[in-house]
Amino acid sequence: MFEKLFQAIFRQEQELSQEREIARHLAKVSLFELKEIEALYPDLQTLTKKLLGKSPYPIRITETIRSAVTQDKYYNQGRTNPGSVITNAKGLQSYHNYGLAFDIAFQGNEPYPKQYEKWKRVGELGESLGLVWGGRFNDNPHFEWHPEFIWQELEKYFQRSA
């Protein structure tokens, strides 16, 4: 894993692009074993903290970055493994894999309320901050940040060897 991260960092000799900055951040996450909000890309950390502070309901972060291996496990659930389908993204196809996504839950007795209105209020607040809210594609707890490119542009730096 480290070799792929370092290859991504030093691959190009041109000016740093945002994609390269994300690869640099991922190397720091791996080297220093950053977790939770600190594992998110710095610009997204700022937006996440704003969402937490401005939310009309007390919310908490449940997951930020995840490895491609973990993403594949989530993808296989409900397909080749028992359980319900929980994601349509394979490893390296999720913004979580790049420190560009996080999931939330509400604090208290009902962390995943059935009432759409609560999700909608928090989701729209996130959108007003520049986040993409997963409620627009049936994933209410999910938020992601698209810094002028899509995950497919990042995936090329982290291709798996055969």
Determine the Cα–Cα distance for residues 21 and 25; give it in Å rounded to an integer. Answer: 6
124: domain CATH number? 3.30.1380.10
- State the DSSP string of 80-110: TBSS----S--TTSSGGGGT-EEEEEESSS-
Residue 14 is assigned to a structural domain of this protein: no
pLDDT band per the 50, 70, 90 thresholds, residue 13: very low
Q: Nearest Cα to 64, choosing from 94, 106, 109?
A: 94
Residue 91 is assigned to a structural domain of this protein: yes
Please check whether residue 137 is in contact with residue 145, taking contact to mean a CB–CB distance below 8 angstroms: no
How confident is the model over 42-82, as pLDDT tens digits? 999 999 999 999 999 999 999 999 999 999 999 999 999 99
- The whole model's pTM is what? 0.84
Range of the domain at 95: 35-158
Per-residue pLDDT, 157: 72
Q: Nearest Cα to 19, choosing from 151, 160, 112?
A: 151
The domain total for the chain is 1
Per-residue pLDDT, 14: 45
Per-residue pLDDT, 158: 74
